[in-house]
Every structure is written in structure tokens, then in C-alpha cells.
């Protein structure tokens, strides 16, 4: 049986490059996720700030609720990763807490839009 060493070498080289690029891709996705979560935190904080500022100016209850709702949604979107990375909470528990905060925030936003 004749083995083509050039083919075998190419296959082994492909497997090595594939496994290395997979690891690099995972790292790239983690970095992109951190960047996107940071942007969400910044934009959500700005929206919350402007809603609160409008509430302070007008003293309308709906705007105050809107500010609280956006604050909870923003906090919820960032919370799972922070709990997992900094406090060692399991990822599933972090996602559950994140989802509960987002749910509460959306309920408050919906209520603020309903209140006259």
C-alpha cells in the first residue's frame, strides 16, 4: 500500500489550522460579546438618563416609570456576564436573573406607556 505523504501532511496541517482557528474564533466572539454588552450598557444608560431627566423636568409619573423600566432592562442585559465572570455565579443562574430583570423592566415600560 502506497501512502501519499504530501496528502497526509496537508490533512494534518488542515486539522491543526482548523483547531487553532476555532479557538481564535471563540476568543474573537467573546471579545465581540464584551464590546456589544458594553455598548448596550452605554446606550441603555443614556436612554435611562434622558428619561429620568425628562421626569425631573415634568414630574410625570409615566416618564419616571419609563426611566426605571429602561434602567432595569439595561441592568438585566449586562448582569448575567458580570455575575458569571466576577462573582462565580453559574451561567444559567445569571441568565435567569438577567431574564427576570428584563421581564420586570419591560412590564414597567409597558405600564408607563399605559398610564395617562
3-state secondary structure the chain: CCCCHHHHHHHHHHHHHHHHHHHHHHHHHHHHHHHHHHHHHHHHHHHHHHHHHHHHHHCCHHHHHHHHHHHHHHHHHHHHHHHHHHHCCCHHHHHHHHHHHHHHHHHHHHHHHHCC
Residue 109 placed within a domain: yes
Residue 26 placed within a domain: no
What is the C-alpha to C-alpha distance for residues 63 and 57, in angstroms, rounded to an integer?
10
74 vs 91, more confident: 74
Residue 1 placed within a domain: no
Per the structure, the count of domains in the chain is: 1
Give the global pTM.
0.73
pLDDT in tens, 21-49: 545 677 888 889 889 989 999 999 999 99
Q: Residue 115 corresponds to which cell in the numbers above?
A: 398610564
Domain encompassing residue 58: 35-115
Residue 92 placed within a domain: yes
Residue 17 placed within a domain: no
Q: Picking from 7-11, 97-101, 102-106, which range would have the lowest pLDDT averaged per residue?
A: 7-11
pLDDT in tens, 43-76: 999 999 999 999 999 999 999 999 999 999 999 9
Mean pLDDT rounded to a whole number for the chain: 83
Residue 56 placed within a domain: yes
Amino acid at each position: 500500500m502506497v501512502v501519499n505523504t504530501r496528502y497526509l501532511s496537508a490533512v494534518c496541517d488542515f486539522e491543526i489550522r482548523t483547531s487553532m482557528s476555532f479557538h481564535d474564533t471563540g476568543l474573537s466572539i467573546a471579545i465581540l460579546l464584551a464590546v456589544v454588552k458594553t455598548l448596550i450598557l452605554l446606550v441603555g444608560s443614556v436612554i435611562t438618563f434622558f428619561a429620568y431627566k425628562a421626569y425631573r423636568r415634568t414630574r410625570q409619573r409615566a416618564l419616571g416609570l419609563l426611566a426605571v423600566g429602561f434602567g432595569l432592562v439595561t441592568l438585566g442585559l449586562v448582569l448575567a456576564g458580570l455575575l458569571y465572570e466576577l462573582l462565580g455565579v453559574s451561567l444559567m443562574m445569571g441568565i435567569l436573573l438577567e431574564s427576570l430583570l428584563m421581564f420586570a423592566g419591560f412590564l414597567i415600560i409597558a405600564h408607563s406607556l399605559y398610564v395617562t
